[in-house]
Amino acid sequence: MISNTIRNRVIAVSTDNHGISYSDDNGHTFTLSNITTGSFDKAIYNNNGIAVTRAINKGNNNNSVEGILYSEDGGATWTNILQEYWFSKIVHLNNNMMFACDLDSGHTYFTSDGKNWEIASNLMEEYLITQRRLDLTWEQNLAANRDTGRNLQEVFHCSTLQETCQLLQEKANNRDYSGLSPCGDYIDIDAMSFGGSNLTFNENTQNLRFVVAGLGIYDGVGDTDSGPGIVFIEKNVCMQKRMDSENGTKIFTSTELGTACANAVAGLQTKLGVTLKTVNRGYDGSWQHEKIFLPTEGEVFGDRPWSNDYGTWNTSIIWPIFSKCPQSRIKYHQSNVGERRWWWTANKSSTSGCYTFVDSYGPADNIGATDTANSVVLAFSL
């Protein structure tokens, strides 16, 4: 028996002629699907939520199913396609592409929807051409439009935000980022509490829309390994708030704003239905371990224009959302449509008593910690 989690269901495919079963309670109990016999090797899925499996025992009895099957209802019912072929390999790549190799003919078949398969002359050639075309299209779209993102709840056919986040975290834990763009896809949070304020989602300003900033960018990083994860950052600002009550020299996690980030963790975890990953970052001369945080200057710009940590070690990993789409540095007001805002980053400035921020038109700058007009852009990792 081989199992995989697909669309929040556990799909179990038998290797000894017992068909396909599915579980809605994380594997505690299983229900037999309409495929009651047959031996299979693997269950995978694409962005359409269509599970696909392949037979491994060609003609082992009259009930053996050859070819590929697909399901659109989470594994309860399956339809046979390409039954006259015996596939030795089936793989899922990003952007919905699937490939399968027929042992008898040697041909490779590919599909983008799981249903309609076409013959390809060469697997690697088809993959390279197709993948490069999709990558170019994604990069061009993202570079031209900061709104080129997909709602991940719709992409993975989840019914709730919590189900979406649980699926995303499970994929991240397995270092499986298939079906995700490197940055730009998003989740919407309807409400959250932060810094003593109750924030609600505004469809016009998308103030609580969190976009993917990078995949696995802290894997292996930190004084202790941060591990795999999907980093999200707010598309626009959520509120105005000062960094601290005094223009001092505190590291971010000790400031008023840093404390607000730490205090918001429990509520956000309840809202998302998962435990947020701890991200271990080195900046301003020491290791910080955070679950809700602000990006540093290095993570936004790939450099430290105003930070005071020149000559000290740091983990300045520029996030793909800012390297692939620099205009993502431009953030807008949480309630006034079209009004650009400047927003804090996590570093102390080389100017005494100041902290760094991103100006409303994108460049780096710094200002005193007590400035109340500066805005907040939160980030976290699943």
Q: Residue 211 belongs to what domain range?
A: 152-381
Confidence at residue 211, expressed as pLDDT on a 0 to 100 scale: 94
Whether residue 352 lies inside any domain: the answer is: yes
pTM of the entire structure?
0.67
Residues 135 and 156 in one domain: no
Average pLDDT of the chain, as a whole number: 79
Q: What pLDDT, in 10s, does the model give residues 327-379?
A: 888 899 988 888 899 999 998 888 888 888 898 888 788 889 899 889 999 99
Whether residue 286 lies inside any domain: the answer is: yes
Residues 363 and 256 in one domain: yes
Instruction: Give the residue from 94, 117, 139 where a domain finishes.
Output: 139
Residues 126 and 180 in one domain: no
Instruction: Give the residue from 102, 118, 139 where a domain finishes.
Output: 139
Residues 259 and 363 in one domain: yes
Confidence at residue 80, expressed as pLDDT on a 0 to 100 scale: 77
Residues 28 and 177 in one domain: no
Instruction: Write down the H helix ranges in the chain.
Output: 123-144, 152-155, 161-173, 256-263, 265-272, 297-301, 320-324
Residues 110 and 203 in one domain: no
Non-local CB neighbours of 117 within 8 Å, separated by 6+ positions:
68, 81, 82, 100, 109, 110, 111
Residues 25 and 62 in one domain: yes
Residues 273 and 355 in one domain: yes
Whether residue 146 lies inside any domain: the answer is: no
Confidence at residue 59, expressed as pLDDT on a 0 to 100 scale: 45
Highest mean pLDDT among 11-15, 92-96, 305-309, 342-346: 342-346
Q: What is the count of structural domains for the chain?
A: 2
Residues 74 and 197 in one domain: no
Residues 337 and 360 in one domain: yes
Residues 216 and 113 in one domain: no
4-13, 126-135, 149-158, 183-192: range with lowest mean pLDDT:
126-135
Q: What pLDDT, in 10s, does the model give residues 196-255?
A: 999 999 988 899 999 999 999 888 887 888 889 999 999 999 999 999 999 878 889 999
Instruction: Give the residue from 86, 110, 139 where a domain finishes.
Output: 139
- CA gap 20, 42 in Å, rounded: 11
- Write b or e for each residue in 52-68: b if 16 or more Cβ atoms lie within 10 A of its Cβ, otherwise e: bbbbbbeeeeeeebbbb
pLDDT at residue 161 is higher than 90: yes
Q: Taken in order 31, 33, 38, 44, is the CA torsion positive or negative?
A: negative
Confidence at residue 50, expressed as pLDDT on a 0 to 100 scale: 65
43-47, 180-184, 207-211: range with lowest mean pLDDT:
43-47
**Quick one: what percent of the chain has pLDDT higher than 90?**
29
SS3 state of residue 35: coil
Whether residue 147 lies inside any domain: the answer is: no
What number of other Cβ atoms are within 10 A of residue 223's Cβ?
Answer: 13
Token pair recorded at residue 326: 């620099």
Whether residue 226 lies inside any domain: the answer is: yes
Whether residue 212 lies inside any domain: the answer is: yes
35-44, 57-66, 81-90: range with lowest mean pLDDT:
57-66
Confidence at residue 43, expressed as pLDDT on a 0 to 100 scale: 67
pLDDT at residue 83 is higher than 80: no
Residues 29 and 98 in one domain: yes
Q: What pLDDT, in 10s, does the model give residues 89-146?
A: 566 554 456 767 665 665 677 777 777 777 765 544 454 444 444 455 555 555 555 5
Whether residue 377 lies inside any domain: the answer is: yes
- Across 18-42, average pLDDT: 77
Whether residue 244 lies inside any domain: the answer is: yes
CATH code of the domain covering residue 116: 2.120.10.30
pLDDT band for position 164 (50/70/90)?
very high
Confidence at residue 311, expressed as pLDDT on a 0 to 100 scale: 46
Confidence at residue 163, expressed as pLDDT on a 0 to 100 scale: 93
